[in-house]
Amino acid sequence: MRHRLVVPVGAAAVVLIGLGAWALWASQEPAIAVPDRVCADALPGGPVRGLLPGHGEGFDEDLFGSSSATSVSTPWKCTLSAGGQSVQLSEFLILSEDDYSSQDIVRDAAKSGNIPLSWGAQKGFIEGNTVSLYVGCESAEGRPVLLETHTGISEGRTRLKDRSVQEAVTALAADFTRFTSARVDHCKPVELPDSAPKIG
């Protein structure tokens, strides 16, 4: 025997009205305008634009540290937020291999749930909602130094578990790391690949 699902006309009307009201509310949210350059003009805004909502609370930039065409202070951090979500970029210098070494990078990349990244001679990994890249360089005195960068997104509609989002954040992380490695104090510039790191 077939059973028919009967939905009262009044209930269906309420559902349709509710959906229409939600769509109208969403369409009335202000469009978010991400600048063409972000983080005090250090990076292009295009890649960031794709990681933030298109509508909602306006764009905001919070910067710790200083940068110029030739120099970046350390530590340095830039947080870009809009629509209730954010993109965070930060860099540090590890001055001693006793604090963190290439072996530690390989160990952490192999941890359960993490995804290894390879980028020419450099390495990194994805952990949670953050891409971490590490660049070995030399100080002015010739000592080995490790540049550490983190590029992450907040929890929300955009998830770093999605392959397309992983690729977008990893590409942004590469842009950020190229910018900092060429300018950061106490770290001689290192030639890095033009492409994004390999995931997996």
The answer to the question of residue 145 being in a domain is: yes
Look at residue 17 and tell me if it is in a domain.
no
Q: Please name the residues in contact with 105: beta carbons below 8 A apart, sequence gap of 6 or more.
A: 123, 124, 125, 134
Residue 190 lies in a domain: yes
Residue 133 inside a domain? The answer is yes
Residues 6+ apart with CB under 8 A from 64: 75, 76, 77, 78
Residue 97's pLDDT is what?
Answer: 80
CA distance 67 to 39: 9
Please report, in tens digits, the pLDDT of each residue of the chain (200 residues total): 444 444 454 544 444 455 454 444 455 788 989 999 999 998 999 999 999 998 998 999 999 988 877 888 888 999 999 999 999 999 999 888 889 999 999 999 999 999 999 999 999 999 999 999 999 999 888 889 999 999 999 876 556 788 999 999 999 999 999 999 998 888 888 999 999 999 99
Question: What per-residue confidence (pLDDT) applies to 3?
Answer: 46
pLDDT recorded at residue 166: 94
Torsion of the alpha carbons at 180, 185, 190 and 192, rounded to the nearest 10: -10
Q: What is the pLDDT of residue 5?
A: 44
Residue 25 lies in a domain: no
The verdict on residue 19 lying in a domain is no
Q: Is residue 72 part of a domain?
A: yes
Enclosing domain of residue 184 = 31-199
DSSP label at 41?
T
H or E segment to which residue 102 belongs: helix 102-109
Asked whether residue 177 is domain-assigned, the answer is: yes
Tally of domains in the chain: 1
Quote the pLDDT of residue 139.
86
Cβ neighbour number for residue 72 with a 10 Å cutoff = 20
